[in-house]
Each structure stands twice: as structure tokens, then as C-alpha cells.
Amino acid sequence: DGGITQSPKYLFRKEGQNVTLSCEQNLNHDAMYWYRQDPGQGLRLIYYSQIVNDFQKGDIAEGYSVSREKKESFPLTVTSAQKNPTAFYLCASKSPGAGELFFGEGSRLTVL
């Protein structure tokens, strides 16, 4: 089935450690996005990529990094520079034109 797969679903990390969240899609979408969701807040854009080997910062990119080496994959690294990384992270891809976003199931990161 076509869709977006995020892994891991749950992740615990100690302060000072980097962690990478995986996002893979088989929808053949060019555009991919990473959002962060905190309780009582909407989705905030971290990074997005319109095409392979190109990506742009969103509103809250500090402390995060991404890569887009393949069309299907858009991993997000949460670095130790991110001051408050505990959150729910959603990856999405966009259908062509003025299409809607398709979301993965999310990854919940907890920093101990």
C-alpha cells in the first residue's frame, strides 16, 4: 500500500544525544515536510524539501538538520542543540500541484 512510514514510533534519548527520525514515502511525491506538534499548539514547520538534494528551513529549524539524498527518504536529526526536543514529530509529503499533505503516523520523542 502507498503511504508514509515513520520510525521509530517511540524514542527515548538522554540529554546531549543526537537522534535521527526516519521518514520514507512510496507515493512518488516530490515535496516532503517535517512538523513538530506540542500539546495545545498546532503543527510547526521544521524543514521542507521540494526536490532531491534541496531543502529549506521552516519556522523552528534551530537544533534540527535534514538531508534529502533520495526522493523517497527525508530523515530528520534532532541534535543536542535543540533545547526542548520532547515532542511529537510528523512527516508529510505533498501531492503535485495544489494538493493536500499526506502524513505519517508520527514519532514521539522523549528526552530523559
Partner 1 sequence: EDKVVQSPLSLVVHEGDTVTLNCSYEVTNFRSLLWYKQEKKAPTFLFMLTSSGIEKKSGRLSSILDKKELFSILNITATQTGDSAVYLCAVVPNTGNQFYFGTGTSLTVIP
100 binds partner 1 (CB under 8 A): yes
For residues 31-70, b (16+ Cβ closer than 10 Å) or e, as one string?
A: bbbbbbeeeeeebebbbbbeeeeebeebebbeebbbebee
Among 27, 31, 60, 61, binds partner 1 (CB under 8 A): 31
105 binds partner 1 (CB under 8 A): yes
90 binds partner 1 (CB under 8 A): yes
27 binds partner 1 (CB under 8 A): no
- Name the CA dihedral angle for 59, 34, 73, 77, rounded to a multiple of 10 degrees: 80
Residues 37 to 66: which contact partner 1 by CB under 8 A? 40-45, 48, 50, 56, 58
33 binds partner 1 (CB under 8 A): yes
103 binds partner 1 (CB under 8 A): yes
- How many residues in the shown chain lie near partner 1 by CB under 8 A? 23
Question: Cis peptide leading into 96, omega within 30 of 0?
Answer: no
Q: Which residues bind partner 1 (CB under 8 A)?
A: 31, 33, 35, 40-45, 48, 50, 56, 58, 90, 97-98, 100-106
